[in-house]
Amino acid sequence: MPRRRPAGRNPEDLDHESTSEAGDEHLDIHDAPDPATATPEQARKYNNRSVERVVSMLNVLQESTEPMSLVEIHRSIRMAKATAFRYLWTLEKHRYVERDASGRYRLGLGFVGMQSRDLEVLQDRARPWLERLRDETDETTNLGVLDGVAVRYVEVAESPRTVRMVSVRGSRDPLYCTALGKAIAAQLPAGQVVELLEQVDLKPRTGHTITSIDRFLAELDKVRRQGYAVDDGENEDDGRCVAVAILGSRLPAALSVSAPSVRFAMEEVPVVAARLAEVAAHLAGEPGAYRTDRTTGG
């Protein structure tokens, strides 16, 4: 006679261990095959379907540079909407996904793992510096960190001007067309950069966007030589941004100043970059290597 299931219990709430304990007694964990080379038959023995589905959901969110709705997620992975919501709710509880005011989902900061405290400390230390830079330049300042294949804005001090470049705290942008992304990528091994770029569609945001891996790697060489990265109308036609990596940090992070290009001349970029480098050195716990009394404004 079949065992009666407790009322209200969803079959998918039962994990593999609780429903197949007898089978697990005969599972030789030391004889398990390498997951990368396992045959389909071997994979069926060891694979956990619930974990597989959660990983598929996280992969979909990682590959998207924009937050996704519940409907978009459940359609992308062909999962029942109610089941997808329960998975997302649990992931949100543990900060592996975040939900914005419109109810759309993106990856959360739980993936920072043991470095989450480092991120909190960096955010706290960076916030007054970003506000100071915002006041000096009258433009939007940002702190970004590497988040999967994109850069995430974790702190933003928005310009008080009516016409300004707007970054939303928690939002993500591609590495390949942002100054923050370039500054961070320039500190990574070339092989890792290639792996990251191969996972995304290098589609043009503007007519100036770099859409070739080889060209992007050459751009990173330039970033290393001059010590700062520039987005010159590559993410938005009328935008310009300069960024400097925070060296010595355990997090892949960078600071930037962004403004409409009509107000932020290329001649001012090295001046602002020097100021950013000074702040980045302070945040890394090092003495400022750059000194300048000049600031930029409209």
Most confident of the following: 19-33, 41-55, 220-234: 220-234
Higher pLDDT residue, 51 or 26?
51
Instruction: Quote the DSSP letter at residue 142.
Output: E
Structural domains of the chain, ranges and CATH numbers in brackets: 40-107 (1.10.10.10), 114-284 (3.30.450.40)
Alpha helix positions (H), 186-268: 190-197, 213-226
**Phi and psi based region of residue 45 (left: phi greater than 0; alpha: psi -120 to 50; beta: remaining):** alpha
With a cut of 50, say whether residue 36 has pLDDT above it: yes
Element (H, E) at 99: strand 97-99
- Torsion on CA atoms 108, 110, 112, 114, rounded to nearest 10: 170
Polymer length of the chain:
298
From 9-23, 125-139, 169-183, 237-251, the region with the lowest mean pLDDT: 9-23
Residue 148 to residue 199: CA distance in whole angstroms: 10
Contact 241, 165 (CB under 8 A): yes
pLDDT per residue as tens digits for the range 186-211: 999 899 899 899 988 999 999 999 99
Please name which of 221, 177, 182 lies closest in space to residue 202, comparing C-alpha atoms: 177
User: Which amino acid makes up residue 37?
Assistant: T
**Tokens at 139, concatenated:** 């433009």
